[in-house]
Amino acid sequence: MASSSQGLSADHNEPGKDTDSETTNVDTGQTSEKLLGKRRARESPGASNLQIQEEDSLSDRDADWEPEDIEISISPPGSASKFVRLASEPDDRSQHSQSSPGPSPGPSMIRGVRGAVALRHRRTPRTRSSGREGSSGEYDSLPNEAPNFSCRWVPLQFPEQEPCKETCTRLSDLRRHQRPHFEIDLSYAKEKLDEVAVSKAQAALDRCAGRGQSYACEVCGKVYSRLDAVARHRQQPQGKYCNIMYKKMRAEEKARAKESQGLEQRLRVQKGKMKRRLSESQKKTNKRNSMMTSTNMNTNTNTNTSKG
């Protein structure tokens, strides 16, 4: 009997414990909801202000396609629906939270902010066309005439002649027009002028033809656009003969340069000797002249004294 009574009392105690735990859970849930509500009331104004600032700072590119008169509200976590809905009227709780000032939340608080947040009416977006309205008058003052490129070529054979007055609207047409002129100058320079004039005429023709500066092999005459390409040509098996002849030519040029330098030195020495001889002869003649003048003056004084 005692065991049966103890079992009944134990059975009666267990449901009592369950009821106590349920009441404590309900109380803690209500207090947590109250605390969360107060926290939402403090944190919602800062979040709404930050979201409004983000919407105001949208760029022109995003404002071209975004809607203007749509307000978005997020349902609180306690409600059944957890989806974003479109609302035509602002929420009363958001207006109340906006009217009550609160501390500005930090970055960690912004992430945890939840509750009803309503967006204000957005400003009219600034489109790309509206941003360029003031720039239309700047292009009115620009000239609508096509550019003119004048030739102004003066023949190398007749420098006193007037320059060519041909004009073209394109630079390519001008180069095509100038090419025969420079070919005439090059042929005249090769026949009548020195190597410097020939190189200048060739450079002008190369610029006109769009080739730039050209380099030719001194032996076979092949033309290349770069000087290192000519050196590579001489190092290849096909240019072996050109390389041998080029080295001989360079050796002869060096020998001639040395000879010319020796001749210049000899001429300088001879000029120095001639200057010294001339200076010595001038000194001797000056001495003789001074002696002659002194003797003449002495003879004149002697004759005058004898007559007196």
pLDDT in tens, the chain (308 residues): 444 444 444 444 444 444 444 444 445 556 666 666 666 656 555 555 655 555 555 555 454 555 555 444 454 555 444 444 444 444 555 454 455 455 555 444 444 444 444 445 555 555 544 444 444 444 445 445 666 888 888 888 888 888 888 888 888 888 888 888 988 988 898 888 888 788 788 878 877 776 666 677 878 877 777 788 888 998 888 888 989 998 898 898 888 888 888 888 888 888 888 888 888 888 888 888 888 887 777 777 767 666 65
pLDDT, position 284: 82
- With beta carbons less than 8 A apart as the criterion, state whether 164 and 181 touch: yes
Q: CA of 284: how far to CAs of 270, 277, 287, 293, 295, in Å?
A: 21, 11, 5, 14, 17
| Burial track 2-38 (b if 16+ CB lie within 10 A, e otherwise) | eeeeeeeeeeeeeeeeeeeeeeeeeeeeeeeeeeeee
Q: CA of 112: how far to CAs of 24, 40, 52, 133, 191, in Å?
A: 27, 10, 18, 44, 92
Q: Domain ranges in the chain? A: 38-125, 150-241
CA dihedral 142, 148, 149, 151 (to 10 degrees): -150
Strands of the chain (E only): list them.
Answer: 71-73, 85-87, 149-150, 167-168, 215-216, 223-224
pLDDT, position 224: 77
Q: Beta partners for 86?
A: 72
Strands 85-87 and 149-150: unpaired
pLDDT, position 126: 53
pLDDT, position 259: 86
Which helix (H) or strand (E) segment is 65 a member of?
A: none
pLDDT, position 40: 62
Structure tokens at 142: 């620009």
pLDDT, position 144: 53
Three-class SS state of 88: coil
The Cα angle at residue 236 between residues 234 and 238, in degrees rounded to 5:
90
pTM for the model: 0.27
Distance CA(97)–CA(43), nearest Å, equals: 9
pLDDT, position 125: 52
| Residues in CB range of 95: below 8 A, 6 or more apart | 118
pLDDT, position 131: 46
Distance CA(217)–CA(241), nearest Å, equals: 12
